[in-house]
Amino acid sequence: MNEPDPPIRVECYAGHKGEETPRRFTIGERRVEVVDVLDRWLAPDHRYFKVKGDDGALYILRHDLLTGRWEITLFEAG
């Protein structure tokens, strides 16, 4: 049986165009600062951000535009 993913909370910065960009996120009790946004792209129902955390790891964060829910779809340890 699979365990549920830990909850993720994402804090964003709204730039001059009003587009929200992740600045930090919390996985359970662990906080990760985004040090670089490496890529971003849109899908019909989601926005994706490939980011580098202050822990040296790479993450792909997915934002569900309908529900507002964030998920981590990729984690690559630094």
Structure tokens at 23: 């600045």
Percent of the chain topping pLDDT 70:
86
Q: Could you tell me the pTM of the whole model? A: 0.85
Region at 58 (left for phi over 0; alpha for psi -120 to 50; beta for the rest): beta
Q: Are 23 and 15 in contact, with CB atoms under 8 Å apart?
A: no
Integer Cα distance of 48 and 40 in angstroms: 5
Q: How many CB atoms lie within 10 A of CB 77?
A: 7
Residue 5 one-letter amino acid: D
Each domain of the chain, given as residue ranges in start order, spans 8-76
pLDDT of residue 61: 97
pLDDT category of residue 17 using cuts at 50, 70 and 90: low
Model pLDDT for residues 32-65, shown as the tens digit of each residue: 999 999 999 999 999 999 999 999 999 999 999 8
Amino acid at position 50, single letter = K
